[in-house]
A = this chain, B = another copy of it.
């Protein structure tokens, strides 16, 4: 019996299910476009084997370990590295056993679906992971990982990835991308310009970062004009490594449209280190507008990932640092927040600003009405907690009626879990096809249209939105 139901995520009514299956089959083999994610480019540069099953599936994946933690497993027992020097479990088999012991916790979650998909289709596992078979499955995965077919580049090809975008900071030297480019390997791995460390005055080491930014670019980043020029140069540098987009992970979606002199004064203030949280927020908001204006010149798509309250647990942050599953969404306004930016660039037909949210209440109330009016706006796919069957269903049901399909931007996997990429795109394609089949079955879309739209959602829209 397969781990994954061949008809998973399709509607239950037989005729509607048949149509969903047919739609899915028409896109199941389309190449994967992964225009936003967090894979490590070093994997593809060096093409070393992945160390062991625990390092591949548990230790780096906060989707996975936070669920075990939520049920009382200490984070250190799962091998998650500490920033405070404390000890953590180092035996990958022991970590794997703890993972297997809690595998039932994932029932009904997308994590279970992604993991089972990886186990079955990447590693040939045919039983549900649990305490009894933990060792055997560990051995099976480990054996595969040691073979050449499971090196990163081989998996990249096996996964049928046409393009994979990683994300690097503005100060990154892109050495791994350079090494990939120099290697002659034909896999298309591009980077994304993510300047948070030099844009967010509250980022650790902001002042030093801006100084280093000047060194790297040869611009006087202590002046507003020089600082902006440094961004322009750095964006151009990133474009040499295939970048077609920038990305911005802000607490809010706030934007500003300050006068030249006010912006300059604010820059001086935040650089001085003596600024209020409000001023820091205003500066981040001004920088979104500056980035959008640069995009008018250099064509980069602008991504806004807003609304995550990072590092909610003080204790976890202190012991384990960032990105440990304790980032919690909060209410996020887009209507007032985006108005300054939209008054500058919103009506530009040749700019693409992609909006992401962790607050589903804005889909129908704010995002779809905005994207259904402003030419510059597109809606990104359901993000993070909402990259799931129900998340995708709610997104489509709440947005399509107002902004249609063509103001959305296709799928992102947004992951650092490499083996989950095919699984995530598969869930997305199945969920979208289930939605389309339901539209056809209820007379809201014609069957021939559904086949066209299915392909656009799985492949075409991502290429358009990211200028690929």
A407 to B326, CA, bound (A): 15
CB within 8 Å for A407 and B336 given contacts A329-B365, A360-B365: no
A22 within 8 A of B: no
Whole-angstrom distance between the Cβ of A430 and the nearest chain B Cβ: 9
B13–A12 CB distance below 8 A: yes
Within the complex, which residue of B108, B110, B370, B405 is in contact with A107, where a contact is CB–CB below 8 Å? B405
Residues of B within 8 A of A66 (CB): 372-373
Within the complex, which residue of B4, B110, B333 is in contact with A401, where a contact is CB–CB below 8 Å? B110
Within the complex, which residue of B107, B314, B373, B405 is in contact with A325, where a contact is CB–CB below 8 Å? B373
> Which residues of chain A from 1 to 32 have any CB-CB distance to chain B below 8 Å in the complex?
4-13, 15-16
Within the complex, which residue of B107, B110, B401, B438 is in contact with A385, where a contact is CB–CB below 8 Å? B401
A343–B313 CB distance below 8 A: yes
A404 to B388, CA, bound (A): 13
- Cβ contacts A326-368/B at 8 Å (1 or 0 each): 1111110101100100110011010000000011110011101
Whole-angstrom distance between the Cβ of A467 and the nearest chain B Cβ: 15
Residues of B within 8 A of A312 (CB): 335, 339, 342, 370, 373
A108–B406 CB distance below 8 A: no
Within the complex, which residue of B335, B398, B444 is in contact with A329, where a contact is CB–CB below 8 Å? B335
Within the complex, which residue of B104, B371, B397 is in contact with A449, where a contact is CB–CB below 8 Å? B104
A9–B444 CB distance below 8 A: yes
Stretch at the interface among A69-77, A91-99, A159-167, A284-292: A69-77
Whole-angstrom distance between the Cβ of A129 and the nearest chain B Cβ: 12
A365–B373 CB distance below 8 A: no
CB within 8 Å for A388 and B401 given contacts A8-B443, A105-B406: yes
B325–A108 CB distance below 8 A: no
A107–B70 CB distance below 8 A: no
A402 within 8 A of B: yes
A257 to B277, CA, bound (A): 22
Whole-angstrom distance between the Cβ of A434 and the nearest chain B Cβ: 8
A122 within 8 A of B: no
> Which residues of chain A from 423 to 462 have any CB-CB distance to chain B below 8 Å in the complex?
438-439, 441-446, 449, 453
A370–B401 CB distance below 8 A: no
- Closest residue of chain B to A74 (Cβ to Cβ) is B349
A70–B373 CB distance below 8 A: yes
CB within 8 Å for A445 and B108 given contacts A330-B335, A335-B328, A401-B388: yes
A106 within 8 A of B: yes
A46 within 8 A of B: no
Residues of B within 8 A of A403 (CB): 67, 70
> Which residues of chain A from 368 to 415 have any CB-CB distance to chain B below 8 Å in the complex?
368-375, 377, 385-386, 388-391, 397-398, 400-407
A71–B366 CB distance below 8 A: no
A125 to B119, CA, bound (A): 53
A449–B361 CB distance below 8 A: no
A14 to B173, CA, bound (A): 59
A390 to B444, CA, bound (A): 11
Within the complex, which residue of B70, B113, B397 is in contact with A444, where a contact is CB–CB below 8 Å? B113
B107–A404 CB distance below 8 A: yes
In this complex, which of A104, A108, A390 has the most chain B Cβ atoms within 10 angstroms of its Cβ?
Answer: A108
- Closest residue of chain B to A444 (Cβ to Cβ) is B108
Residues of B within 8 A of A6 (CB): 443
A375–B72 CB distance below 8 A: yes
A109 within 8 A of B: yes
A274 within 8 A of B: no
23 contacts across the A-B interface (CB closer than 8 A): A8-B442, A10-B442, A13-B13, A67-B404, A69-B373, A72-B375, A107-B404, A108-B401, A108-B404, A108-B405, A108-B439, A109-B400, A109-B401, A309-B336, A312-B335, A312-B339, A327-B369, A328-B370, A328-B373, A329-B366, A330-B335, A331-B333, A388-B401
Q: Which 5 residue pairs are nearest across A and B when measured between Cβ atoms?
A: A8-B443, A5-B443, A72-B349, A12-B13, A108-B400
Additional pairs, 13, CB under 8 Å, beyond known A107-B449, A109-B404, A330-B365: A5-B443, A8-B444, A12-B438, A70-B377, A71-B375, A71-B407, A104-B449, A105-B404, A128-B446, A313-B343, A330-B335, A361-B365, A364-B385
